[in-house]
Amino acid sequence: MNAIILSALLGVVMMFSGIVIKSKHAIVSTALVCLVILLLGNLCDTYGCFSISMDLHEMLAFNKFGQFFNTIAITATLLYVLLSGKDIVKVGNYPAEYFALIFFVLCGVSILSAFNNLLMMFLGIEILSIPLYILTGSDKKNLKSNEASLKYFLMGAFSTGLMLMGIALLYGATGSFGIEAPVARQLSNGVQQRAPILEVIGLIFVFVSLLFKVSAAPFHFWTPDVYDGAPSVFTSFMATIVKAAGFIAFIHLFEGRADEMESIWKMLLVLTIVATLLIGNVTAVFQQSVKRMLAYSSIAQAGFMLFALYSRNDMAKEGILLYAVAYSIATVGIFAILIKMKDYTFDGYNGLAKTQPLLAAANTVFLLSLAGIPLTAGFFAKYWMLASVMKAGGSSAIWLIVIAVIFAAVSVYYYFRVIQAMYFKEGNAETTEEISQGFKIGLLIMSAIIIILGVFPDALLQWFYF
């Protein structure tokens, strides 16, 4: 509960801090302090030393998993602001508001990690999405940013509509907004009664709308345009923390409900996973701009995260946490470097190893992690996902895994193009500004986290089970 209340309050604080604090630098510092407070608040909650509680009529249910995910999301945001704070305030004239919106997004994230009721899920998704529509359009004088914002809003509204429709159908079929499947469906002879068709359709609607949110194929069309059009700093936030939250909601809801869809579920899910991996990876290969490549790669990574829905076991839950950390940190880092680049194309990175050796080295670690090379966190993230599918078994499991690893090999192609440009091609990659020491230290810390998790993933997981 701490995280929800604190993030909402601190969001308001940030909003009004713009009136009092005029220096842009001070606003970033305020945001950092607020994030640390939020993080501490959430940690207090996790370890039970102080938590706000009230009667919620079982609308929200707090558990370790959700709170741990909050910690991850807040820490990732903290690292993100630490690295890119200076670039956030550069986007427009009202920097305090951007931070306020980021806090509201975090509020949505914490609701999504704890909902116990379909309406709360809807609320969480909306609280998360609306600030994002604004952030996407925050570069007001840029036509592309405006277009992206409108596109995102229309698509988002459409998927929200679908979700509401689905929730209504579910309510109609079961008479409850609870996320657990109705219990009283055992017949007297012990045979499970089939779920009514209304409920199955409702679930499919919710499934589709969530696929929209996590940009899985075939509902991914908004992603490249929005990610490309939005100011790069906010793309970084959208593609990482927000996306991971979408998956948490996804797993939370379908963990108990998927079985009601019986064979339809596996079929829909396998098709979605394969389509997402195919479209994300293959399209990313043909991109010329690193930013657009990252947009497609985020679709491809979503394909991998969807495996957690296929297996739905303990390993999948651990895996999604690892994935959230590995993917968020790496992507935040890559975007932070991208923002500093003058030219967003692959050629713009030519020779970066010579002009900025540290940036190139950190970027390499992040890219290797995204590609899932051993000794980086990304490897274990992918490993956990694949192992969870293997553990869940089923006749299609091994073929699904083989398809997944082939696409993982395809992903090496586009991630390594950046590495090739940085190290092996002649050129003079230019950055837009002088790179500060603080930025370099931030990158070093993040690379260190990636490598430590790549050698001792238990460090994170043991914390989860402490």
Partner 1 sequence: MVPVLLILLPLITGLVSFFMKGENGGKAWALASSILTLLVALGGIFLYNQPAHLTYDTSWLTSVGSRFSVGMDGMGKMLCLLTAVSFPIIFLATSKNNYKDSGSFYALMLLTQAGLTGVFVATDCLLFYFFWELALIPVYFLCSKWGGEKRIAVTFKFFIYTFIGSLLMLVGILYLYFQTPAHSFAIKDFYALQLSSEQQNCIFWLMFIAFAIKMPIFPFHTWQPDAYEQSPTATTMVLSGIMVKMGIFAVVRWLVPIFPEATKYYSHFIVVLSVIGMIYASLIAIKQDDIKRLIAYSSIAHIGLMAAAIFAGNAIGLKGVMVQMFNHGINVIGLWIVANAIEQQLGTRKFSELGGLAQKAPTLAILLVIMAFANIALPLTNAFVGEFLMFNGLFQFNVYVTAVAGISIILGAVYTLNMVQKIFYGNTVIATENAKEISGNVQLALVVLTVMIIVLGVYPQPLINLTNDTVKAIISVH
Which positions lie near partner 1, rule CB under 8 A?
318, 368, 373-375, 383, 386-387, 390-391, 393, 398, 401-402, 405-406, 408-409, 412-413, 416, 420, 423-425, 456-458, 461-462
Cβ nearer to partner 1, comparing 237 with 307: 307
Cβ nearer to partner 1, comparing 170 with 386: 386
Cβ nearer to partner 1, comparing 232 with 388: 388
Q: How far apart are CA 256 and CA 247, in angstroms?
A: 15
Residue 255 class from Cβ within 10 Å (0-12 exposed, 13-18 middle, 19+ buried)?
Answer: middle
Which string of DSSP letters, residue by residue, matches 38-65? HHHHHHHHHHTSS------TTSB---HH
Q: How far apart are CA 464 and CA 278, in angstroms?
A: 33
Phi, psi of 113 (to 5 degrees): -85, 0
Smallest gap from residue 323 Cβ to partner 1 (A): 15
Amino acid at 191: V
Residue 164 class from Cβ within 10 Å (0-12 exposed, 13-18 middle, 19+ buried)?
Answer: middle
Smallest gap from residue 124 Cβ to partner 1 (A): 30
Cβ nearer to partner 1, comparing 27 with 386: 386
Cβ nearer to partner 1, comparing 172 with 357: 357
Cβ nearer to partner 1, comparing 130 with 361: 361
Smallest gap from residue 430 Cβ to partner 1 (A): 21
HSE (side-chain half, CA atoms, 13 Å) at 247 = 36
Smallest gap from residue 88 Cβ to partner 1 (A): 34
Amino acid at 433: E
DSSP β-bridge partners for residue 117: 178
Q: How far apart are CA 446 and CA 78, in angstroms?
A: 12
Cβ nearer to partner 1, comparing 90 with 425: 425
Smallest gap from residue 74 Cβ to partner 1 (A): 24
Smallest gap from residue 244 Cβ to partner 1 (A): 21
The answer to whether 378 and 333 have CB atoms below 8 angstroms apart is: no
The answer to whether 103 and 42 have CB atoms below 8 angstroms apart is: no
Structure tokens given for 372: 């899932």
Cβ nearer to partner 1, comparing 26 with 285: 285
Structure tokens given for 396: 């299609």
Amino acid at 80: Y
Please name the residue ranges forming H helices in 214-356. Answer: 222-229, 232-237, 243-257, 263-285, 290-305, 307-311, 314-340, 352-355
Smallest gap from residue 435 Cβ to partner 1 (A): 20
Smallest gap from residue 406 Cβ to partner 1 (A): 7
